[in-house]
Structure 1
Amino acid sequence: MAQVQELAPGHPGVLNAAGMRELIRGEPAAARPLLEKAVAADSGSATLWLNLALANRDLRDDAGEAAALERALVADPRFYPALLQKARLFERQGKTKQAAFLYQAFLFCLPPGDGHPPALQAAVAHARQAVEGHLKATEAFLEGRLKEAKARHPGERMERVEACYETLMGRRGLYMPAPTFMQFPRLPAIEFPDCAEYPWLDAFEAATPEIRAEAQAAFSQASQDFQPYISKPVGAPLDQWGELNDSRRWSSYFLLKNGKPVDEHLARCPRTAALLKVAPLCDVPMHAPTAFFSVLAPKTRIPPHTGVTNTRFIVHLPLVVPAGCGFRVGAEKREWREGKAWVFDDTFEHEAWNDSDVPRIILIFDVWNSFLTAAERDLVSVITHGVQEFGEGASPFAQGG
């Protein structure tokens, strides 16, 4: 070190190394002037300003520490070590609210992954604890105000407000549509559209006993026709589908497949076939509609995945739903109720599970996204079919993770 200092006494790297050596030895008073010279030689280095802040911390100079941290964050506003140190400074000063905001910023700017050194892992755990405590305190502060505000709007639906509030408070994850093929811009992104907008579902719900009987008859009399829903060829990337590929643990009995009727199956299920004829099914030549009975075997989970396009919605009509079955779309979990249909946007990440000891059976089919105009539906159909024609038969609606 002495030789290097003699060769380049004013170099910021040399000054920084010498200063940090003194700091590690427990001599912050000796370290500070060296680090001050380092930042004077290179005022744009966030690391040098942070090291000066650490020297000021050890000297219990809060004002000097704060000033150095500000300069570090001017040099790099996302420099997470400086954000962490500023949060710690606020915490030492009893400014818990300001500390929580800085801890949140630190967590946001932290590089992804878990391969951090133990000291940083401990800091991450503490930062998360501080942010969680702040959110709980915020909720307690807002509880009375929210109760009073809701009382001003009796009878009004509050689902969207609740979702907004839960997301803000960190109790609800934030998910965005992520289709594997086509994203149609400027459509509302809603996990579960309001079923009141789809009055034709009433006919399906009313016919649930008949549809269930047809599904169960097919399952018992033509079980060989229930094929694995996931069937990827050898050499294809399986990703999350490894356990279910070519497995009857998740099987399907198709009534309509890729826009074509499966006549033999439709003939076995006349009531279901009649209802599908009048539903606003998605219509894309060679791709849609698709309708099938979906059977999820006991103790089976469908892993998180996303659908191909937000130009369609998916309909579920639960037929046989034992206890222990569930479904998640984005941040919202629901339990199926036999005979109660719902519509959802499958371009949000979603998953399903059957923890029971008997199979779960539902009717699934796709309909147009109700926010598309007739002209938009027509052009989406032309584009999608054209992609397949140009690709010589490769279907962009093919199963994907």
Structure 2
Amino acid sequence: MTNSTHRATISELVDTARMALLPGGNAATAVIALQEALLQAPRDIGLILFLGDAQHAAGQRKQAGQSYGVALRLASQIASSSIPPGIQEALNRAGDRRNEYARQYEAFLRSKLTGGGESSRFSESLEILFGRRQIYVQQPTKFYFPGLPQIQFYNTDLFDWAADLEAKTDSIRHELLNVMADEAAFAPYLPEEDKTSAHVRSVPLQGSLDWAAFYIWQDGQKVATNAARCPVTASAFDKVPLDFLPGQAPSVLFSRLKPGAHIPPHCGLINTRLIGHLPLIVPGPAWLRVGNEVHYWKEGKLVVFDDSIEHEAKNEATETRVVLLFDFWRPEITLPERQQISELISAIAEYSGEAVARES
């Protein structure tokens, strides 16, 4: 393509590629020419798209997909109004071809899977492999405990106390309705003065009753007057391994979300506990996203999730949604580890003057 006395210009290399792509030409020669041209202009979107087209013509589908991907990413960084029509047409073609490559890849892989009845985990692995789901992992903002499984939503059959708690739904809801008759009983879930919450920097709900709470347990202490108003609710946790951390956890509360209220994506403070939701009032579509999975609350059906994985929630119904929210020890953590974690979290809070483990 070049010799010691003359280095081909981009224009000459492009002409070589065009000739090579004519009927009877050699597409592989076009690929080589365009690769050399890109050494001189590595961020030229037109050249990259042309290379992708040449690789497609040469049957190099994997390489073409990579080239098209680079061009699409570069184009996404500039205003669409500044992209010439010819380049935009080529970008559209690149996107279509990448989608077609992805369909062919998926069809090939699925044709090799002979077993039936895929597990939910295997199905999720395919969704991630094919780019339809993102990978999310634990990212607690205050304290990370290693070696724990990355599970977004837990199967509630794992917890021997879950069925008993669900069986109390009607009685707990009755107590909730009595509390809700007193509007003053609820306070903002995120108090205006709270500077320790993981939500403070990103949630417009701080100080708002759109997301409100009525605590049975708060910051590791039973709220005696509230527990007396809701005796069934207070006693429902006698068998639940609440994560006792002096001055910080557990919390057990009625969590109220008004119509349209949205809790933006965030991660909890620690990953040594799980969060439980017992839905009590779900008047319409209301959802919780944890990682790459969205769950719609159903009254009386317990939900358990890892709040150290990015999550968000929204009440899309026209009426208020209320769940009984609580935090408890992860089952993978041993009793000696619980004691050590409790002592450590308390020491961190004492030194820093800030709570480390309040629920999110």
Interval of TM-score (by shorter of Structure 1 and Structure 2): 0.7 to 0.9
Distance 1:124 1:374 in 2: 57
2:49 maps to 1:88:
no
Distance 1:258 1:233 in 2: 16
2:10 maps to 1:60:
no
Aligned to 1:149: 115
**RCO (CA 8 Å, sep 6+): is it higher in 1 or 2?**
2
Q: How far does residue 73 in structure 1 lie from its aligned partner after superposition?
A: 8.8
Q: 1:103 aligns with which of 38, 61, 68?
A: 68
Aligned to 1:313: 274
2:203 maps to 1:241:
yes
Distance 1:235 1:218 in 2: 28
Distance 1:388 1:36 in 2: 71
Aligned to 1:225: 185
Q: How far does residue 127 in structure 1 lie from its aligned partner after superposition?
A: 3.9
Contact 1:293/1:361 (8 A) holds in 2: yes
Task: Give the gaps of 5 or more residues in structure 2.
Answer: 22-26
Q: How far does residue 314 in structure 1 lie from its aligned partner after superposition?
A: 0.4
Distance 1:52 1:197 in 2: 68
**TM-score w.r.t. structure 1 length?**
0.75
Partner-residue secondary structure (3-state), 1:171: coil
Distance 1:285 1:111 in 2: 53
1:137-181, Cα deviation, whole Å (9 max, x unpaired): 3333444544x3116xxxxx6100010011111222222222111
Q: How far does residue 201 in structure 1 lie from its aligned partner after superposition?
A: 0.8
Matched to 2:141, the amino acid is T
Q: 1:177 aligns with which of 123, 138, 157?
A: 138
Matched to 1:381, the amino acid is S
Q: How far does residue 375 in structure 1 lie from its aligned partner after superposition?
A: 2.1
Q: How far does residue 191 in structure 1 lie from its aligned partner after superposition?
A: 0.2
Partner-residue secondary structure (3-state), 2:131: coil
Matched to 1:379, the amino acid is Q
Matched to 2:106, the amino acid is E
Contact 2:220/2:247 (8 A) holds in 1: yes
- Identity fraction in percent: 31
**TM-score w.r.t. structure 2 length?**
0.83
Contact 1:167/1:174 (8 A) holds in 2: yes
Aligned to 2:165: 204
Counterparts in 2 of 1:160 and 1:250: CA distance versus 1, 3 Å: same
Counterparts in 2 of 1:294 and 1:235: CA distance versus 1, 3 Å: closer
Q: What's the Cα RMSD here? A: 3.5
Q: How far does residue 333 in structure 1 lie from its aligned partner after superposition?
A: 0.9
Distance 2:140 2:88 in 1: 34
Aligned residue-pair number: 349
Contact 1:258/1:286 (8 A) holds in 2: yes
Give the structure with the larger helix fraction.
1
Counterparts in 2 of 1:388 and 1:127: CA distance versus 1, 3 Å: farther
2:98 maps to 1:131:
yes
Contact 2:245/2:346 (8 A) holds in 1: yes
Counterparts in 2 of 1:205 and 1:398: CA distance versus 1, 3 Å: closer
Contact 1:80/1:110 (8 A) holds in 2: no
Matched to 1:60, the amino acid is A
Distance 1:365 1:33 in 2: 71
Task: Give the gaps of 5 or more residues in structure 1.
Answer: 1-31, 40-47, 152-156
Distance 2:190 2:131 in 1: 34
2:250 maps to 1:292:
no
The structure whose Rg is larger is 1
Q: How far does residue 218 in structure 1 lie from its aligned partner after superposition?
A: 0.8
Aligned to 2:24: none
After superposing the two structures, state which structure 1 stretch, 341-350 or 123-132, moved more: 123-132
Aligned to 1:272: 233
Distance 1:330 1:121 in 2: 34
Q: How far does residue 259 in structure 1 lie from its aligned partner after superposition?
A: 1.0
Distance 2:102 2:164 in 1: 45
